[in-house]
């Protein structure tokens, strides 16, 4: 390995560095690093054991138990040229294979991997509250809240055009309503209203694409179903954002974001209609029967 290369070290779910080669060799000799300690330097495709980088370095004899560290004791892995704070992994490291130790790729431990703490905080309101406020405001909240969602997407994806499409769609909706008020503008007003819905859906699918693409950089796979997004747009996407917000705060991706709950919402009006039909149909049949009896009595 060329002299002067900076080396990163991974131990116990933490990475430290970069360190100079001379420092790493000295720490190996002191027994601070074992031969199986993972290391990585720029240009390497994956993390490898230190014994692969320094095969000529003899193994150090085992050290006696170290005394208890005091509060003022310096950390083992301190480097003046460290580019930033040490990151802890958001996901648990894979278990070792029965056939031998397995080493994570540099994608899992790469120094430039963004931390979930660097992610802008998503709007975390529960989708049920968004639905409730939309009902209480007669749909006005449903028009306002997408702009809040699109504003967050813009923070993680500077190329997102979702906000622009929402604004254009709202302009089309207002213009369509105004033009439709006149007797001669009904056709044009209808086309503008249709343009609003097209822009609405395009903006939401654009936001979904940005979220899936950008959250992949944080090693968080986001699955947004196209069918569910089409039928439940604002509320379904908000369920995803609340899940992302919880992951940012806790590092846990379980439980998964809601999906089946939205289809349950469809069953509620179906159930209500069925109940009303079960009550109304027998009552109507009884009314018809009584009406025929009254007509029959009049005929006699």
Percent of the chain with pLDDT over 90: 37
Report whether pLDDT(165) > 90: yes
Q: Which of 98, 113, 128 finishes a domain?
A: 113
**Residue 102: per-residue pLDDT:** 39
| One domain, residues 159 and 254 | yes
| One domain, residues 95 and 207 | no
Domain that holds residue 157: 119-258
Under the banding of pLDDT at 50, 70 and 90, the label for residue 167 is: very high
Q: Is 238 helix (H, G, I), strand (E, B) or coil?
A: helix
| One domain, residues 209 and 175 | yes
Report whether pLDDT(200) > 50: yes
Mean pLDDT taken over the chain: 78
List, for residues 102-130, the tens digit of each pLDDT value: 333 334 444 456 788 889 999 999 999 99
| One domain, residues 275 and 247 | no
| One domain, residues 246 and 294 | no
Give the closest residue to 38 by CA, choosing from 28, 48, 30.
Answer: 48
Under the banding of pLDDT at 50, 70 and 90, the label for residue 182 is: confident
Q: How far apart are CA 105 and CA 128, in angstroms?
A: 40
| One domain, residues 100 and 169 | no
Specify the pTM. Answer: 0.56
| One domain, residues 25 and 74 | yes
| One domain, residues 101 and 137 | no
Q: Which of 84, 113, 142 finishes a domain?
A: 113
Q: Which of 92, 113, 134 finishes a domain?
A: 113
Chain centre distance of CA 230: 18
| One domain, residues 152 and 246 | yes
| One domain, residues 237 and 273 | no
Q: Which residues contact 203 (CB under 8 A, 6 or more apart)?
A: 146, 150, 161, 162, 163, 165, 166, 169
| One domain, residues 231 and 180 | yes
Do residues 108 and 89 make contact, with C-beta atoms less than 8 angstroms apart? Answer: yes
Tally of structural domains, the chain: 3
| One domain, residues 199 and 289 | no
Report whether pLDDT(162) > 70: yes
């Amino acid at each position: 390995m060329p002299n002067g290369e900076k080396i990163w070290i991974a131990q116990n779910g933490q990475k430290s560095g970069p360190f100079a080669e001379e420092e790493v060799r000295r720490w190996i000799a002191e027994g601070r690093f074992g031969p199986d300690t993972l290391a990585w330097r720029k240009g390497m495709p994956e993390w490898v054991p230190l014994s692969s980088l320094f095969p000529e370095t003899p193994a150090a004899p085992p050290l006696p138990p170290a005394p208890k560290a005091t509060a003022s004791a310096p950390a083992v892995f301190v480097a003046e040229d460290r580019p930033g704070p040490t990151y802890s992994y958001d996901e648990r490291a894979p278990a070792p294979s029965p056939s031998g130790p397995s080493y994570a790729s540099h994608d899992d431990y790469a120094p430039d991997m963004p931390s979930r703490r660097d992610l802008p905080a998503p709007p975390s309101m529960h989708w049920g509250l968004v639905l409730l406020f939309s009902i209480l405001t007669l749909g006005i909240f449903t028009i306002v809240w997408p702009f809040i969602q699109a504003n967050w997407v813009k923070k993680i994806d500077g190329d997102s055009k979702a906000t622009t499409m929402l604004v254009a769609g709202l302009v089309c909706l207002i213009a369509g309503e105004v033009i439709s008020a006149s007797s001669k503008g009904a056709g044009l007003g209808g086309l503008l209203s249709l343009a609003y819905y097209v822009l609405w859906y395009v903006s939401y699918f654009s936001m979904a694409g940005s979220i899936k693409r950008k959250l992949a950089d944080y090693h968080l796979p986001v699955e947004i179903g196209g069918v569910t997004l089409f039928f439940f747009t604002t509320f379904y996407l908000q369920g995803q954002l609340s899940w992302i917000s919880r992951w940012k705060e806790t590092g846990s991706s379980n439980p998964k974001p809601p999906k089946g709950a939205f289809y349950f919402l469809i069953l509620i009006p179906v159930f209500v209609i069925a109940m009303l039909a079960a009550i109304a149909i027998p009552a109507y049949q009884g009314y018809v029967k009584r009406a025929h009896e009254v007509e029959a009595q009049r005929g006699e």
